[in-house]
A and B are shown apart, each in its own frame.
Chain A
Amino acid sequence: DAKTTQPTSMDCAEGRAANLPCNHSTISGNEYVYWYRQIHSQGPQYIIHGLKNNETNEMASLIITEDRKSSTLILPHATLRDTAVYYCIASDNYGQNFVFGPGTRLSVLP
C-alpha cells in the first residue's frame, strides 16, 4: 500500500471550513484514498473515500488532485465535536495490511 504523509496537527476556528491535506505520491492506479477519524480513544469512524473523482457525503468532501498524488479532506463547517485525529490511508480494496499512520490532530477552537 502507498505511504501517506499528513501534517502532525492543525487548528481550525469553529464554523469555518477545515481543510486537511494528505500526500500520497506513490499511490498506484488501483488504490483508493480513505479518510477515517478517531475521537479520543474511541474506535475510528469512517468518513469518506475516493479513487480519482471528487466525492461528497453528509460529513465531508474529498478533493483528489488530477495526478492523484495528493488529496484534501474538507469539513465545510467545523464544530467542536470535529476535534479528532484524522487518518488518510491509501489502499487497494483487498485491504490487507491496512495501515493507519499517525494522522493529523485537528483542534477546532471556539
Chain B
Amino acid sequence: EAQVTQNPRYLITVTGKKLTVTCSQNMNHEYMSWYRQDPGLGLRQIYYSMNVEVTDKGDVPEGYKVSRKEKRNFPLILESPSPNQTSLYFCASSLKDLVHEQYFGPGTRLTVT
C-alpha cells in the first residue's frame, strides 16, 4: 500500500530536549516536504526536498533542521524545542514536483512544555 508514515504520532517533551520526527515514504517519490498546522494559521511549509541531499527552507524554517540521505526518508529535527513549536506536523511526498498530488502522512502532534 502506497503510504507516508510518521513517527511518533504523539510526543510530549520539555524545552531544550532534542528530538527527531521521522518520515518515510514507499512510493519512490523524489519530492518531500514538512508542514506544521496551527489553529488560525493553516498549514505552513517548514522545509522541502527535491531529491537526495537537496533541501531548502520553506515558509517557517526557524528552529528546525532536516536531512535527506536516502530517497525514502526525510526526518525533521528540533535541536532545542521551544513551546512555540507545539503544533501538528505533517510530512508529504510527491512524484512529479513539489506540489502535484502530494501524499500526506497521518501527522505528529507535538507538545513542548
Contacts and interface: CB of A to CB of B under 8 A. Distances in A.
Given A43-B105, A98-B98, A98-B99, 5 more contacts: A32-B99, A45-B104, A96-B48, A100-B43, A103-B42
Interface of B: 4, 33, 35, 37, 40, 42-45, 48, 56, 58-59, 88, 90, 92, 96-107, 109
26 contacts: A36-B102, A41-B107, A41-B109, A42-B106, A43-B4, A43-B90, A43-B104, A43-B107, A44-B43, A44-B92, A44-B102, A49-B101, A93-B99, A93-B100, A95-B48, A95-B99, A96-B98, A97-B45, A97-B59, A98-B58, A99-B43, A99-B44, A100-B37, A100-B44, A101-B42, A102-B40
A72 to B, nearest CB: 20
Interface in A72-110: 87, 89, 91, 93-103
Given A43-B90, A43-B92, A43-B106, A98 B97 contact: no
A32 B94 CA distance: 16
Nearest to A49: B100
B44 A34 contact: no
Nearest to B107: A43
A21 B53 CA distance: 39
